[in-house]
Amino acid sequence: MTPTWIAVDWGTTNLRLWVMDATGQVITSLTSSQGMNALQSGQFEPVLLDLLDPYLSDEKTLPVMCCGMVGARQGWTDAGYLAVPSGVPDGTNATRVTGTDTRISVHIISGLKQQSPADVMRGEETQISGFLRQYPDFDGVICLPGTHTKWVHISAAEVVSFQTFMTGELFGLLSKQSVLRHSVDVKEFDQDSFETALDDTMSRPQNLAAQLFNLRANSLVGDQSGAQARGRLSGLLIGAELAAARPYWLGQNVAIIGADNLAQLYQAALLAQGLSAQISDVTDMTISGLTAAYKSLAKA
């Protein structure tokens, strides 16, 4: 199969790349840890050329469609933002990276920004674009769990507003780098503790700050296990997020774009609030969104 174009999700810590054929199928997929944070501005092209080496030819130019932090100010090229309310960005408003090797032509999809309350996204707009290809009439709220979880209000195929929560990053910092690591840094996860803690912060969010050190103290003077502490920390933080995101999900049609355990935790948390949210796979949505952008580019 001949590669026709390249799809790239280039984030802060990772790069994921798919070699695509003319029918829209994935020929090969690659993952690299050379995310934006690991690279200086001049290193993006060499990294990409290195990964693409087996697929390059002097005879033709291979289109490369990228989304994610590669388009940030501190990335390869600033791909800017569309301001919400807005349709999802696609190839027509993507930024063409100038001065690259003639065997590739690189385009970076624009992010989305919101003036008030101030917020930004890069990468999730492409997942949303993929989701809207599959569900063009979706009206409601999309939750995208991750390091920075996004809640996105969609209406009439437009992004109306959105809000970002640092829940995943907070969980990582607290469980690996704070004093809680002595109690929480285990592989096991107790679901009951998650649900109890979720309920605790949902009903009394003002008590969150008082609950954190308690996770450490409970392993010192109580009989709390590591799995219970880990489940509880996750429940406290996701509970605090859900309490603050209530205007987004309350009485809404909610969909989740995510993967694995984290998406399932959000699904369980929403179910506890009486909301049944379906999970769409984040990789599928990303490839679909990048495909939409590539196709709109070809048409333009």
Sign of the dihedral defined by the CA atoms of residues 92, 94, 98, 100, in that order? negative
* Chain centre to alpha carbon of residue 87: 18
Identify which of residues 128 and 180 has a Cβ nearer to a second copy in the complex: 180
Residues 69-88 close enough to bind a second copy by CB under 8 A: 73, 81
* Interface pattern 31-70 for a second copy (x via CB under 8 A): ----------------------------------------
Rounded least distance, CB 185 to a second copy, Å: 14
Q: Which stretch binds a second copy (CB under 8 A): 17-25, 45-53, 240-248, 272-280?
A: 240-248
Question: What residues have CB less than 8 Å from 261, skipping those under 6 apart?
Answer: 189
Identify which of residues 156 and 221 has a Cβ nearer to a second copy in the complex: 221
Q: Which stretch binds a second copy (CB under 8 A): 50-58, 235-243, 255-263, 278-286?
A: 235-243
Under the binding rule (CB under 8 A), the answer on residue 160 touching a second copy is: no
Under the binding rule (CB under 8 A), the answer on residue 208 touching a second copy is: yes
Please list, residue by residue across 79-101, b when 16 or more beta carbons sit within 10 angstroms of its beta carbon and e when fewer do: bbbbebebebbbbebbbebeebe
Could you give the residue ranges of the DSSP H alpha helices within 98-190? 124-134, 167-177, 181-184
Identify which of residues 81 and 194 has a Cβ nearer to a second copy in the complex: 81
Q: 88, 241, 262, 277: which one contacts a second copy (CB under 8 A)?
A: 241
Closest CA to 45 of 115, 86, 97, 119: 97
Q: Which stretch binds a second copy (CB under 8 A): 58-66, 132-140, 201-209, 256-264?
A: 201-209
Provide the Cα torsion 169, 173, 174, 176; round to 10°: 130
* Chain centre to alpha carbon of residue 82: 18
SS3 call for 226: helix
**Interface with a second copy by CB under 8 A: which residues?**
73, 81, 113-115, 117-120, 148, 163-167, 169-170, 173-174, 177-180, 205-210, 212-214, 216-218, 220-222, 224, 237, 240-241, 243-246
